[in-house]
Structure 1
Protein backbone atom coordinates (compact mmCIF):
# COMPACT_ATOMS: atom_id res chain seq x y z
CA UNK A 1 0.00 0.00 0.00
CA UNK A 2 1.52 3.32 -1.04
CA UNK A 3 2.22 6.11 1.41
CA UNK A 4 -0.36 8.86 1.15
CA UNK A 5 0.65 11.05 4.11
CA UNK A 6 3.62 12.08 6.22
CA UNK A 7 2.83 13.04 9.80
CA UNK A 8 5.36 15.16 11.67
CA UNK A 9 6.06 16.30 15.18
CA UNK A 10 6.90 20.03 15.22
CA UNK A 11 9.44 21.27 17.80
CA UNK A 12 12.84 19.73 17.09
CA UNK A 13 11.48 18.01 13.98
CA UNK A 14 10.18 20.63 11.56
CA UNK A 15 11.39 23.75 13.36
CA UNK A 16 14.38 24.57 15.53
CA UNK A 17 12.09 26.09 18.14
CA UNK A 18 13.25 24.15 21.20
CA UNK A 19 15.96 26.69 22.14
CA UNK A 20 13.38 29.49 21.94
CA UNK A 21 10.94 27.52 24.08
CA UNK A 22 13.60 26.58 26.63
CA UNK A 23 14.68 30.21 26.97
CA UNK A 24 11.12 31.46 27.50
CA UNK A 25 10.30 28.74 30.05
CA UNK A 26 13.52 29.38 31.98
CA UNK A 27 12.78 33.09 32.16
CA UNK A 28 9.27 32.69 33.57
CA UNK A 29 10.24 29.94 36.02
CA UNK A 30 13.05 32.17 37.30
CA UNK A 31 10.95 35.32 37.54
CA UNK A 32 7.74 33.93 38.98
CA UNK A 33 8.78 30.69 40.70
CA UNK A 34 12.36 31.59 41.65
CA UNK A 35 13.55 28.34 40.07
CA UNK A 36 16.47 27.60 37.78
CA UNK A 37 15.25 24.82 35.49
CA UNK A 38 17.46 22.89 33.08
CA UNK A 39 16.67 21.77 29.55
CA UNK A 40 16.41 18.19 30.77
CA UNK A 41 13.95 19.20 33.48
CA UNK A 42 11.86 21.02 30.90
CA UNK A 43 11.89 18.07 28.50
CA UNK A 44 10.61 15.90 31.36
CA UNK A 45 7.67 18.31 31.68
CA UNK A 46 6.87 18.22 27.96
CA UNK A 47 3.74 16.52 26.69
CA UNK A 48 1.02 18.93 27.84
CA UNK A 49 0.57 22.39 26.35
CA UNK A 50 2.59 25.38 27.50
CA UNK A 51 -0.28 26.53 29.71
CA UNK A 52 -0.46 23.13 31.38
CA UNK A 53 3.31 22.91 31.82
CA UNK A 54 3.34 26.23 33.67
CA UNK A 55 0.11 25.57 35.53
CA UNK A 56 1.19 22.10 36.55
CA UNK A 57 4.74 22.93 37.60
CA UNK A 58 4.68 26.44 39.09
CA UNK A 59 4.83 26.27 42.87
CA UNK A 60 3.43 29.81 43.03
CA UNK A 61 -0.04 29.20 41.60
CA UNK A 62 -0.95 32.88 41.89
CA UNK A 63 1.63 33.66 39.22
CA UNK A 64 0.45 31.10 36.67
CA UNK A 65 -1.60 33.43 34.47
CA UNK A 66 1.10 36.10 34.32
CA UNK A 67 3.72 33.44 33.69
CA UNK A 68 1.72 32.11 30.74
CA UNK A 69 1.28 35.62 29.35
CA UNK A 70 5.00 36.35 29.60
CA UNK A 71 5.94 32.95 28.18
CA UNK A 72 4.06 33.63 24.96
CA UNK A 73 5.50 37.14 24.68
CA UNK A 74 9.04 35.82 25.06
CA UNK A 75 8.38 32.86 22.78
CA UNK A 76 7.06 35.09 19.99
CA UNK A 77 9.91 37.56 20.38
CA UNK A 78 12.45 34.73 20.10
CA UNK A 79 11.31 33.97 16.55
CA UNK A 80 12.53 37.36 15.38
CA UNK A 81 16.04 37.20 16.81
CA UNK A 82 18.72 37.57 14.15
CA UNK A 83 19.97 33.97 14.35
CA UNK A 84 16.52 32.32 14.13
CA UNK A 85 15.85 31.03 10.62
CA UNK A 86 13.86 28.18 9.09
CA UNK A 87 15.85 25.16 7.99
CA UNK A 88 16.07 25.27 4.20
CA UNK A 89 16.33 21.50 3.84
CA UNK A 90 13.07 21.05 5.73
CA UNK A 91 11.35 23.76 3.74
CA UNK A 92 12.50 22.10 0.50
CA UNK A 93 11.20 18.75 1.74
CA UNK A 94 7.78 20.20 2.57
CA UNK A 95 7.60 21.87 -0.84
CA UNK A 96 8.50 18.57 -2.52
CA UNK A 97 5.92 16.54 -0.62
CA UNK A 98 3.21 19.13 -1.14
CA UNK A 99 4.00 19.31 -4.84
CA UNK A 100 3.69 15.54 -5.14
CA UNK A 101 0.24 15.54 -3.56
CA UNK A 102 1.31 13.86 -0.33
CA UNK A 103 -0.87 14.83 2.63
CA UNK A 104 1.04 16.60 5.42
CA UNK A 105 0.03 16.65 9.06
CA UNK A 106 1.50 17.90 12.32
CA UNK A 107 0.91 16.16 15.65
CA UNK A 108 2.31 18.38 18.40
CA UNK A 109 1.93 18.86 22.10
CA UNK A 110 2.19 22.63 21.58
CA UNK A 111 -0.85 24.76 22.14
CA UNK A 112 -2.61 26.08 19.05
CA UNK A 113 -1.42 29.56 20.01
CA UNK A 114 2.26 28.57 20.15
CA UNK A 115 1.97 26.54 16.95
CA UNK A 116 0.49 29.48 15.07
CA UNK A 117 3.22 31.82 16.37
CA UNK A 118 5.89 29.48 15.00
CA UNK A 119 4.31 28.56 11.69
CA UNK A 120 3.47 32.20 11.01
CA UNK A 121 7.03 33.35 11.72
CA UNK A 122 8.49 30.53 9.61
CA UNK A 123 6.06 30.87 6.68
CA UNK A 124 4.86 27.31 7.19
CA UNK A 125 1.17 28.01 7.62
CA UNK A 126 0.00 26.76 4.23
CA UNK A 127 1.84 23.45 4.15
CA UNK A 128 -0.32 21.31 6.40
CA UNK A 129 -3.57 19.56 5.61
CA UNK A 130 -4.15 18.65 9.26
CA UNK A 131 -2.72 20.05 12.49
CA UNK A 132 -3.44 18.37 15.80
CA UNK A 133 -2.16 20.43 18.73
CA UNK A 134 -2.15 19.79 22.44
CA UNK A 135 -5.44 21.70 22.64
CA UNK A 136 -7.10 19.11 20.40
CA UNK A 137 -6.46 15.96 22.45
CA UNK A 138 -7.21 14.65 25.92
CA UNK A 139 -4.10 12.48 26.02
CA UNK A 140 -0.85 13.90 24.62
CA UNK A 141 1.99 11.84 23.18
CA UNK A 142 3.16 9.18 23.93
CA UNK A 143 -0.53 8.33 23.66
CA UNK A 144 -1.43 7.86 19.97
CA UNK A 145 -4.72 9.80 20.23
CA UNK A 146 -3.50 12.70 18.08
CA UNK A 147 -2.17 10.40 15.36
CA UNK A 148 -5.41 8.41 15.28
CA UNK A 149 -7.38 11.64 15.04
CA UNK A 150 -5.30 12.87 12.10
CA UNK A 151 -5.65 9.57 10.25
CA UNK A 152 -9.41 9.57 10.80
CA UNK A 153 -9.73 13.08 9.40
CA UNK A 154 -7.56 12.18 6.41
CA UNK A 155 -9.45 8.92 5.89
CA UNK A 156 -6.25 6.86 5.87
CA UNK A 157 -5.09 3.57 7.37
CA UNK A 158 -1.86 3.43 9.42
CA UNK A 159 -0.16 1.58 6.56
CA UNK A 160 -0.73 4.59 4.31
CA UNK A 161 1.23 7.03 6.50
CA UNK A 162 4.54 7.47 8.29
CA UNK A 163 5.30 9.47 11.43
CA UNK A 164 8.46 11.49 12.07
CA UNK A 165 9.59 12.92 15.40
CA UNK A 166 12.57 13.80 17.57
CA UNK A 167 11.47 12.51 20.98
CA UNK A 168 10.94 9.22 22.75
CA UNK A 169 7.28 10.15 23.15
CA UNK A 170 7.00 10.60 19.37
CA UNK A 171 8.41 7.15 18.69
CA UNK A 172 6.17 5.53 21.28
CA UNK A 173 3.10 7.28 19.87
CA UNK A 174 3.86 6.44 16.27
CA UNK A 175 4.56 2.79 16.99
CA UNK A 176 1.46 2.49 19.20
CA UNK A 177 -0.60 3.87 16.31
CA UNK A 178 0.82 1.22 13.99
CA UNK A 179 2.71 3.61 11.71
CA UNK A 180 6.16 3.28 10.28
CA UNK A 181 7.92 5.70 12.63
CA UNK A 182 11.25 7.52 12.25
CA UNK A 183 13.43 9.37 14.73
CA UNK A 184 15.23 12.50 13.59
CA UNK A 185 18.25 14.40 14.90
CA UNK A 186 18.68 16.90 12.10
CA UNK A 187 18.19 20.22 13.91
CA UNK A 188 20.45 21.93 16.45
CA UNK A 189 18.33 20.76 19.39
CA UNK A 190 16.27 17.59 19.68
CA UNK A 191 14.74 15.82 22.64
CA UNK A 192 15.90 12.19 22.72
CA UNK A 193 19.05 10.19 22.10
CA UNK A 194 17.54 6.91 23.29
CA UNK A 195 14.10 5.42 22.78
CA UNK A 196 12.01 2.92 24.72
CA UNK A 197 11.11 1.19 21.46
CA UNK A 198 13.21 1.13 18.31
CA UNK A 199 12.13 3.45 15.50
CA UNK A 200 12.11 2.16 11.94
CA UNK A 201 15.04 4.43 11.18
CA UNK A 202 16.99 7.37 12.59
CA UNK A 203 18.03 10.30 10.39
CA UNK A 204 20.71 12.88 11.13
CA UNK A 205 19.98 14.99 8.07
CA UNK A 206 17.00 15.76 5.89
CA UNK A 207 18.60 14.40 2.72
CA UNK A 208 18.69 10.89 4.21
CA UNK A 209 14.95 10.99 4.82
CA UNK A 210 14.35 12.45 1.39
CA UNK A 211 16.25 9.50 -0.12
CA UNK A 212 14.05 7.07 1.81
CA UNK A 213 10.97 8.78 0.42
CA UNK A 214 12.29 8.50 -3.10
CA UNK A 215 13.10 4.80 -2.68
CA UNK A 216 10.32 3.50 -0.45
CA UNK A 217 7.42 5.88 -0.98
CA UNK A 218 8.10 6.36 -4.65
CA UNK A 219 8.23 10.14 -4.48
CA UNK A 220 10.42 11.59 -7.18
CA UNK A 221 12.08 15.00 -7.30
CA UNK A 222 10.68 17.32 -9.95
Structure 2
Protein backbone atom coordinates (compact mmCIF):
# COMPACT_ATOMS: atom_id res chain seq x y z
CA UNK A 1 0.00 0.00 0.00
CA UNK A 2 1.13 3.54 -0.74
CA UNK A 3 -0.12 7.04 -0.07
CA UNK A 4 -0.76 9.34 -3.04
CA UNK A 5 0.09 13.02 -2.59
CA UNK A 6 -1.57 15.87 -4.51
CA UNK A 7 -0.54 19.20 -3.07
CA UNK A 8 -1.70 19.15 0.54
CA UNK A 9 -4.13 16.29 -0.10
CA UNK A 10 -3.24 12.70 0.78
CA UNK A 11 -5.04 9.60 -0.55
CA UNK A 12 -4.05 6.82 1.83
CA UNK A 13 -3.68 3.05 1.44
CA UNK A 14 -3.67 2.73 -2.33
CA UNK A 15 -2.85 -0.64 -3.91
CA UNK A 16 -3.63 0.16 -7.54
CA UNK A 17 -3.25 3.21 -9.77
CA UNK A 18 -5.20 3.18 -13.05
CA UNK A 19 -4.06 5.63 -15.73
CA UNK A 20 -5.63 6.79 -18.94
CA UNK A 21 -3.00 6.81 -21.71
CA UNK A 22 -3.44 9.71 -24.14
CA UNK A 23 -3.30 13.11 -22.46
CA UNK A 24 -2.33 11.56 -19.14
CA UNK A 25 0.91 9.65 -19.71
CA UNK A 26 1.65 10.83 -23.26
CA UNK A 27 0.97 14.07 -25.12
CA UNK A 28 -2.54 14.08 -26.57
CA UNK A 29 -2.46 16.59 -29.42
CA UNK A 30 1.08 15.69 -30.48
CA UNK A 31 0.02 12.08 -31.14
CA UNK A 32 -3.55 12.29 -32.41
CA UNK A 33 -3.14 15.38 -34.60
CA UNK A 34 -0.48 13.53 -36.60
CA UNK A 35 -2.49 10.30 -36.77
CA UNK A 36 -5.60 12.12 -37.99
CA UNK A 37 -3.56 14.17 -40.47
CA UNK A 38 -2.13 10.99 -42.02
CA UNK A 39 -5.58 9.41 -42.26
CA UNK A 40 -7.12 12.55 -43.78
CA UNK A 41 -4.26 13.08 -46.24
CA UNK A 42 -4.52 9.57 -47.70
CA UNK A 43 -8.33 9.74 -47.93
CA UNK A 44 -8.04 13.16 -49.58
CA UNK A 45 -5.53 11.90 -52.13
CA UNK A 46 -7.60 8.86 -53.06
CA UNK A 47 -10.84 10.81 -53.42
CA UNK A 48 -9.09 13.89 -54.88
CA UNK A 49 -10.58 16.23 -52.28
CA UNK A 50 -9.64 19.91 -51.97
CA UNK A 51 -7.92 21.49 -48.95
CA UNK A 52 -11.20 22.77 -47.51
CA UNK A 53 -12.60 19.24 -47.37
CA UNK A 54 -9.27 18.02 -45.95
CA UNK A 55 -9.53 20.47 -43.03
CA UNK A 56 -13.18 19.60 -42.58
CA UNK A 57 -12.38 15.90 -42.49
CA UNK A 58 -9.77 16.44 -39.79
CA UNK A 59 -12.20 18.58 -37.81
CA UNK A 60 -14.92 15.93 -37.96
CA UNK A 61 -12.46 13.33 -36.67
CA UNK A 62 -11.66 15.65 -33.78
CA UNK A 63 -8.68 17.86 -34.70
CA UNK A 64 -9.15 21.63 -34.83
CA UNK A 65 -6.09 22.75 -36.81
CA UNK A 66 -7.04 26.44 -36.48
CA UNK A 67 -6.57 26.49 -32.72
CA UNK A 68 -4.08 23.62 -32.53
CA UNK A 69 -5.96 21.33 -30.21
CA UNK A 70 -8.36 18.42 -30.14
CA UNK A 71 -12.06 19.19 -30.03
CA UNK A 72 -13.60 18.99 -26.58
CA UNK A 73 -16.01 16.26 -27.61
CA UNK A 74 -13.50 14.31 -29.67
CA UNK A 75 -14.17 11.90 -31.09
CA UNK A 76 -10.45 11.16 -31.55
CA UNK A 77 -8.60 10.65 -28.29
CA UNK A 78 -11.85 10.36 -26.40
CA UNK A 79 -13.97 7.75 -28.15
CA UNK A 80 -13.13 4.42 -29.68
CA UNK A 81 -11.64 4.06 -33.14
CA UNK A 82 -14.84 2.87 -34.82
CA UNK A 83 -16.63 6.08 -33.84
CA UNK A 84 -13.77 8.20 -35.22
CA UNK A 85 -13.86 6.27 -38.49
CA UNK A 86 -17.64 6.59 -38.76
CA UNK A 87 -17.34 10.35 -38.29
CA UNK A 88 -15.10 10.42 -41.40
CA UNK A 89 -17.55 8.28 -43.38
CA UNK A 90 -20.50 10.48 -42.36
CA UNK A 91 -18.63 13.68 -43.27
CA UNK A 92 -17.71 12.35 -46.69
CA UNK A 93 -21.30 11.27 -47.34
CA UNK A 94 -22.61 14.73 -46.41
CA UNK A 95 -20.23 16.15 -49.01
CA UNK A 96 -21.36 13.84 -51.79
CA UNK A 97 -18.94 10.93 -51.40
CA UNK A 98 -20.99 7.82 -50.71
CA UNK A 99 -20.01 4.26 -49.81
CA UNK A 100 -16.62 5.20 -48.34
CA UNK A 101 -16.67 2.87 -45.34
CA UNK A 102 -14.41 0.35 -47.06
CA UNK A 103 -11.96 3.05 -48.08
CA UNK A 104 -11.83 4.56 -44.58
CA UNK A 105 -11.39 1.14 -42.99
CA UNK A 106 -8.51 0.42 -45.35
CA UNK A 107 -6.86 3.80 -44.72
CA UNK A 108 -7.17 3.52 -40.93
CA UNK A 109 -5.50 0.10 -41.07
CA UNK A 110 -2.79 1.44 -43.38
CA UNK A 111 -2.01 4.35 -41.06
CA UNK A 112 -1.98 2.04 -38.04
CA UNK A 113 0.71 -0.06 -39.72
CA UNK A 114 2.68 2.96 -40.89
CA UNK A 115 2.58 4.57 -37.44
CA UNK A 116 4.35 1.59 -35.88
CA UNK A 117 7.50 2.71 -37.71
CA UNK A 118 7.06 6.35 -36.57
CA UNK A 119 6.83 6.12 -32.78
CA UNK A 120 9.86 8.38 -32.40
CA UNK A 121 7.96 11.17 -34.15
CA UNK A 122 4.48 10.43 -32.79
CA UNK A 123 5.00 9.66 -29.12
CA UNK A 124 5.96 12.23 -26.50
CA UNK A 125 5.68 11.45 -22.78
CA UNK A 126 3.96 13.81 -20.38
CA UNK A 127 6.31 15.52 -17.94
CA UNK A 128 6.75 13.35 -14.85
CA UNK A 129 5.11 10.21 -16.22
CA UNK A 130 8.13 7.92 -16.01
CA UNK A 131 9.24 9.01 -12.51
CA UNK A 132 5.70 8.50 -11.18
CA UNK A 133 5.32 5.05 -12.72
CA UNK A 134 8.79 4.12 -11.49
CA UNK A 135 8.01 5.24 -7.94
CA UNK A 136 4.75 3.28 -7.88
CA UNK A 137 6.47 0.17 -9.26
CA UNK A 138 9.34 0.32 -6.75
CA UNK A 139 6.95 0.70 -3.83
CA UNK A 140 4.88 -2.31 -4.94
CA UNK A 141 1.75 -0.45 -6.04
CA UNK A 142 0.05 -2.07 -9.01
CA UNK A 143 -0.33 -0.01 -12.19
CA UNK A 144 -2.88 -0.42 -14.98
CA UNK A 145 -3.79 1.42 -18.18
CA UNK A 146 -7.42 2.04 -19.17
CA UNK A 147 -7.45 3.42 -22.70
CA UNK A 148 -9.77 4.07 -25.63
CA UNK A 149 -6.93 2.92 -27.89
CA UNK A 150 -6.59 -0.73 -28.87
CA UNK A 151 -4.77 -2.81 -26.27
CA UNK A 152 -1.91 -3.95 -28.51
CA UNK A 153 -1.22 -0.43 -29.82
CA UNK A 154 -1.24 0.85 -26.25
CA UNK A 155 1.19 -1.85 -25.20
CA UNK A 156 3.58 -1.01 -28.04
CA UNK A 157 3.41 2.70 -27.17
CA UNK A 158 4.05 2.07 -23.48
CA UNK A 159 7.00 -0.20 -24.29
CA UNK A 160 8.48 2.39 -26.67
CA UNK A 161 8.29 5.10 -23.99
CA UNK A 162 9.96 2.82 -21.45
CA UNK A 163 6.85 2.43 -19.32
CA UNK A 164 6.04 -1.19 -20.15
CA UNK A 165 7.90 -2.99 -17.36
CA UNK A 166 6.18 -0.81 -14.76
CA UNK A 167 2.65 -1.67 -15.92
CA UNK A 168 0.78 -4.73 -14.64
CA UNK A 169 -2.18 -4.64 -17.03
CA UNK A 170 -3.45 -2.76 -20.09
CA UNK A 171 -7.14 -2.79 -21.00
CA UNK A 172 -8.17 -1.21 -24.29
CA UNK A 173 -11.31 -0.32 -26.19
CA UNK A 174 -11.25 -3.73 -27.88
CA UNK A 175 -11.59 -5.39 -24.45
CA UNK A 176 -14.85 -3.74 -23.43
CA UNK A 177 -18.42 -3.62 -24.68
CA UNK A 178 -19.24 -0.26 -23.09
CA UNK A 179 -17.01 2.82 -23.45
CA UNK A 180 -15.97 5.27 -20.74
CA UNK A 181 -17.53 6.58 -18.54
CA UNK A 182 -19.09 3.15 -18.04
CA UNK A 183 -17.15 1.41 -15.24
CA UNK A 184 -16.67 -1.83 -17.22
CA UNK A 185 -13.02 -1.04 -18.02
CA UNK A 186 -12.27 -0.47 -14.32
CA UNK A 187 -14.11 -3.63 -13.31
CA UNK A 188 -11.99 -5.69 -15.72
CA UNK A 189 -8.82 -4.26 -14.20
CA UNK A 190 -9.98 -4.78 -10.62
CA UNK A 191 -11.03 -8.37 -11.31
CA UNK A 192 -7.84 -9.28 -13.14
CA UNK A 193 -5.53 -7.76 -10.55
CA UNK A 194 -7.73 -8.85 -7.64
CA UNK A 195 -7.87 -5.40 -6.07
CA UNK A 196 -10.67 -3.94 -3.97
CA UNK A 197 -12.13 -0.78 -5.53
CA UNK A 198 -11.64 1.08 -2.25
CA UNK A 199 -7.87 0.70 -2.61
CA UNK A 200 -7.75 1.85 -6.25
CA UNK A 201 -7.34 5.32 -7.76
CA UNK A 202 -7.80 6.44 -11.37
CA UNK A 203 -5.97 9.30 -13.12
CA UNK A 204 -7.11 10.87 -16.39
CA UNK A 205 -7.28 14.04 -18.47
CA UNK A 206 -10.97 13.76 -19.42
CA UNK A 207 -14.15 13.94 -17.39
CA UNK A 208 -15.00 10.46 -18.67
CA UNK A 209 -11.88 9.08 -16.94
CA UNK A 210 -12.87 10.58 -13.61
CA UNK A 211 -16.43 9.35 -14.05
CA UNK A 212 -15.15 5.81 -14.64
CA UNK A 213 -13.65 5.95 -11.16
CA UNK A 214 -16.78 7.40 -9.61
CA UNK A 215 -19.04 4.88 -11.34
CA UNK A 216 -16.78 1.99 -10.33
CA UNK A 217 -16.72 3.09 -6.70
CA UNK A 218 -12.97 3.63 -6.58
CA UNK A 219 -11.27 5.26 -3.61
CA UNK A 220 -10.51 8.42 -5.58
CA UNK A 221 -10.41 9.91 -9.08
CA UNK A 222 -7.73 12.42 -10.09
CA UNK A 223 -8.06 14.81 -13.02
CA UNK A 224 -4.93 16.13 -14.77
CA UNK A 225 -4.91 19.30 -16.88
CA UNK A 226 -2.92 17.94 -19.82
CA UNK A 227 -5.74 16.99 -22.15
CA UNK A 228 -9.45 17.49 -22.61
CA UNK A 229 -10.89 18.88 -19.37
CA UNK A 230 -10.29 22.15 -17.53
CA UNK A 231 -9.89 22.75 -13.80
CA UNK A 232 -13.50 23.94 -13.60
CA UNK A 233 -14.72 20.86 -15.47
CA UNK A 234 -13.00 18.56 -13.00
CA UNK A 235 -13.95 20.47 -9.87
CA UNK A 236 -17.60 19.72 -10.59
CA UNK A 237 -16.98 15.99 -10.15
CA UNK A 238 -13.80 15.47 -8.09
CA UNK A 239 -11.84 17.24 -5.37
CA UNK A 240 -8.51 15.95 -6.74
CA UNK A 241 -6.99 17.92 -9.62
CA UNK A 242 -3.31 18.15 -10.60
CA UNK A 243 -1.59 20.24 -13.25
CA UNK A 244 0.01 17.07 -14.64
CA UNK A 245 1.24 13.71 -13.36
CA UNK A 246 4.51 15.29 -12.20
CA UNK A 247 2.44 16.91 -9.43
CA UNK A 248 1.36 13.51 -8.08
CA UNK A 249 3.64 12.11 -5.37
CA UNK A 250 4.04 8.69 -3.78
CA UNK A 251 5.00 7.83 -0.20
CA UNK A 252 4.86 4.82 2.05
User: Does the pair score TM above 0.5?
Assistant: yes
- Work out which of the two has the higher radius of gyration on C-alpha atoms and give 1 or 2: 2
Following superposition, the deviation at residue 207 of structure 1 comes to 4.2
Residue-by-residue CA offset, 1:101-126 (whole Å, 9 max, x unaligned)? 10111111111232133112212221
Distance 2:28 2:145 in 1: 15
1:40 counterpart (66, 71, 80): 71
Name structure 1 gaps, 5 residues minimum. Answer: none
What does residue 69 of structure 1 align with? 109
Question: What residue number does 2:248 align with?
Answer: 209
| C-alpha contact (below 8 Å) 2:132/2:248 kept by paired residues | no
What RMSD over aligned residues (CA atoms) do the two structures have, in Å?
A: 2.4
Corresponding position: 1:160 with 2:199: yes
- For the Cα contact (< 8 Å) 1:171–1:197, is it kept in 2? no
Check the 8 A contact 1:147/1:174 in 2, yes or no. Answer: yes
Structure 2: runs of 5 or more not aligned: 1-11, 45-53, 65-69, 90-99
Match of 1:181 in 2: 221
Cα gap change, 1:36 to 1:90, in 2 (>3 Å) = closer
Q: 1:108 aligns with which of 147, 150, 171?
A: 147
Contact 1:55 1:64 in 2 (8 A): yes
Q: Is the counterpart of residue 96 in structure 1 residue 135 in structure 2?
A: yes
Structure 2 counterpart of 1:143: 182
Q: Deviations over 1:137-181 (max 9, x none)?
A: 001111110001111112122111111000011011111111210
Bigger share in strand: 2
**Cα distance in 1 for residues equivalent to 2:206 and 2:128:** 20
Q: State how far apart, in whole Å, the 1-side matches of 2:159 and 2:203 are.
A: 21
Matches of 2:72 and 2:109, distance apart in 1: 21
1:24 and 2:64 are equivalent in the alignment: no
Using the size of structure 1 for normalisation, the TM-score is 0.82
1:206 is displaced (CA, Å) by: 3.3
Output one character per residue of 1:52-94: Cα deviation in whole Å (capped at 9) or x when no partner. 134322322121232212331454354212x954346211111
Q: What does the per-residue CA deviation read over 1:30-72, in whole Å, with 9 as the maximum and x for residues that have no partner? A: 431642412217723544433x134322322121232212331
Aligned length: 208
Look up the SS of the partner of 1:2 in the other structure.
Answer: strand
